[in-house]
C-alpha cells in the first residue's frame, strides 16, 4: 500500500498521522485532496459505527484504503455519557466550551472520588472488503474547573491517571504518548507496518 486517505479535515490529525506513516513509505491523503467528498453524518450509536461509516464512504469514493477515527468521553457518574455524543453534548451547534460547561454542571454535586472517566477512540481501516478497527483508552478524572490552555474539547477538565496536569496543561507530544487517540493510532500503525 502506497497511499492511504484519512477521512478527516482536521489539520492536527492529518499532520500527526502523516508524520507517523512517512517512515513506512505511506503517503497520507485527506479530505483536502478530495473536495468533492461530502461530510459524513456521525449518526451511529457506537464509536465503531461512526468510524467505520466514515472510512467506508471515503474508501468507496476514492478507491483507496481509508482510515478514520471517532472519540468519546465516558463519565462513570453519568452512566458513560456523553460517550458517542461528546461532540454535541450541549446541542447540535454546541461549542467545546458549551459541552465542557454542561459536563461540569451535570457533575456539580459529584465528589472527586466518583468523577472517574475515560476517553475512548476507535480507529477504523477500510480497504475494499477488508475492515479492521483499533481501540485506544485513556483513564482519568474530571476536575471541578478548567485548567490549562492547550489541547481542545474536554482537555482542560480531564486529568489522566497518574498525572498531576490536565491534558490541556501537557505538551501535545506528552498528550499523544498517553492519549486514547495516540494508543489507537499506535496499534493501527503497528498492524499496518506488519502487514506490508
Ligand atoms: P472526534 O471523534 O475526534 O471528532 O471527537 C468527538 C468529540 O470528542 C470532540 O468534539 C471533542 O469534544 C471530544 N474529544 C475528542 N478527542 C478529544 C481529546 O483528545 N481531548 C478532549 N476532547 C476530545
Q: What mean pLDDT is reported for the chain?
A: 95
Look up cell 500500500; give the residue: 1
Determine contact, residues 185/173, Cβ cutoff 8 Å. no
pLDDT digits (tens, 9 = 90+) for 105-114: 999 999 999 9
Q: Measured from the CB, is residue 151 less than 6 Å from ligand 1?
A: yes
Q: Which of 70, 76, 127, 129 is catalytic?
A: 70
**How would residue 43 be classed by pLDDT, with cut points 50, 70 and 90?**
very high
Residue nearest ligand 1's atom 7 by CA: 87
Architecture of domain 3-195: Alpha-Beta Complex (3.90)
Q: Measured from the CB, is residue 86 less than 6 Å from ligand 1?
A: yes
Q: Measured from the CB, is residue 154 less than 6 Å from ligand 1?
A: yes
Q: Is the pTM of this model over 0.85?
A: yes
pLDDT at 1 exceeding the cut of 70:
no
pLDDT for res 155 = 97
Strands 27-30 and 158-160, bridge-based pairing: unpaired
Alpha carbon distance 120, 125 (integer Å): 17
Residue nearest ligand 1's atom 22 by CA: 153
pLDDT digits (tens, 9 = 90+) for 141-168: 999 999 999 999 999 999 999 999 999 9
Q: List the single range of 8-22, 27-41, 55-69, 82-96 with lowest mean pLDDT.
A: 8-22
Residue 84 Cα, ligand 1 centroid: separation in angstroms?
10
pLDDT for res 124 = 98
Strands 66-75 and 82-83, bridge-based pairing: antiparallel
Q: Measured from the CB, is residue 87 less than 6 Å from ligand 1?
A: yes
pLDDT for res 7 = 95
Question: For residues 145, 148, 151 and 156, what is the CA-based torsion angle, rounded to 10 degrees?
Answer: -10
Can you say how many angstroms the Cα of residue 26 is from the centroid of all Cα atoms in its chain?
21
Look up cell 494508543; give the residue: 183
pLDDT digits (tens, 9 = 90+) for 57-116: 999 999 999 999 999 999 999 999 999 999 999 999 999 999 999 999 999 999 999 999
**How would residue 13 be classed by pLDDT, with cut points 50, 70 and 90?**
confident
pLDDT for res 59 = 98
3-state secondary structure 91-150: CCCCCHHHHHHHHHHHCCCCCHHHCEEEEEEEEEEEECCEEEEEEEEEEEEECCCCCCCC
Amino acid at each position: 500500500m502506497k497511499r492511504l486517505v484519512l477521512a478527516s479535515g482536521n489539520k492536527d490529525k492529518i499532520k500527526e498521522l502523516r508524520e507517523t506513516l512517512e517512515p513506512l513509505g505511506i503517503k497520507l491523503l485527506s479530505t483536502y485532496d478530495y473536495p468533492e467528498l461530502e461530510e459524513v453524518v456521525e449518526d451511529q450509536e457506537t464509536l465503531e459505527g461512526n468510524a467505520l461509516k466514515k472510512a467506508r464512504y471515503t474508501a468507496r469514493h476514492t478507491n483507496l484504503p481509508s482510515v478514520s477515527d471517532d472519540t468519546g468521553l465516558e463519565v462513570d457518574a453519568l452512566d458513560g455519557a456523553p460517550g458517542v455524543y461528546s461532540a454535541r453534548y450541549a446541542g447540535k451547534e454546541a461549542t467545546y466550551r458549551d459541552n465542557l460547561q454542561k459536563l461540569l454542571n451535570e457533575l456539580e454535586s459529584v465528589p472527586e472520588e466518583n468523577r472517574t472517566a475515560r476517553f475512548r477512540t476507535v480507529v477504523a481501516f477500510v480497504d475494499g472488503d477488508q475492515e479492521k478497527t483499533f481501540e485506544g483508552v485513556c483513564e482519568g478524572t474530571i476536575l471541578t474547573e478548567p485548567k490549562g490552555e492547550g489541547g481542545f474539547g474536554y482537555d482542560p477538565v480531564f486529568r489522566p491517571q497518574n498525572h498531576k496536569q490536565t491534558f490541556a496543561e501537557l505538551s501535545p507530544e506528552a498528550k499523544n504518548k498517553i492519549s486514547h487517540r495516540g494508543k489507537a493510532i499506535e496499534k493501527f500503525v503497528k498492524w499496518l507496518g506488519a502487514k506490508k
